[in-house]
Amino acid sequence: MIEAELKARVRDVEAVRRWLRERATEEPATYHDTYYDWPDHRLDTEGREIRLRTIETRTDTTHLLTYKQPPADASGSKPEHETVVADPNSVEVLLRDLGMVELVSLTKRCQNYRFTYCDRLILATIVNVPELDGTFLEIETLASEVDLESALGTVRTVATKLGVIDSLDYAKYTDSVMQMRVSEQAPKE
């Protein structure tokens, strides 16, 4: 399946939160993400990702291993393959033993909202990444390759209703966090 997704910067967080709360119960969660690649960054260069994620909620902790293929279209939506992992330490050993290194680790503080819109299950997530300025909104739904454009149309409609369609942000969190860390390490004049 392809994760048909758009990300935007949010100017009016309370208005977005109000609209979402009218449609769904807020589910707070913290995501701890570690992305892996080979030292030559071949996965990143090809638009591929391997991520080990830990999701902490009020009642549960879940570990996921995700492989994302290169983007399926200009929106950056990617075919995604994900599985629950019982022991993330074993997966980390496996990845490192295969020669992979940590590309970047980051934390996302999220409020998830799941609802149906135009007969599609939508996940809208208000996101704060402590190292990045501002608040983001991710809007996504799953689609097949032949259904991707229709799914993205629904996601765009939700973005329009939320007033964020003019604030789409195509930068990946991983790239933004890595750039922020490089700029913080640069010598000050």
Q: Are 131 and 177 in contact (CB under 8 A)?
A: yes
CB neighbours of residue 185 within 10 Å = 7
Residue 40 neighbours by CB under 8 Å, 6+ apart? none
pLDDT of residue 74: 87
Q: What is the pLDDT of residue 93?
A: 98
User: How far does Cα 135 stand from its chain's mean position?
Assistant: 13
Are 154 and 117 within 8 A, CB to CB?
Answer: yes
Q: What sign does the dihedral 7-124-14-178 (CA atoms) show?
A: negative
**What pLDDT is stored for residue 189 in this prediction?**
65
CATH of the domain spanning 2-183? 2.40.320.10
Residues in Cβ contact with 106 at an 8 Å cutoff, skipping those fewer than 6 apart: 33, 129, 131, 173, 174, 177
How is the chain split into domains, by residue range?
A: 2-183
> pLDDT by residue for the chain (189 residues), tens digit each?
999 999 999 999 999 999 999 999 999 999 999 999 999 999 999 999 999 999 999 999 999 999 999 999 988 999 999 999 999 999 999 999 999 999 999 999 999 999 999 999 999 999 999 999 999 999 999 999 999 999 999 999 999 999 999 999 999 999 999 999 988 887 776
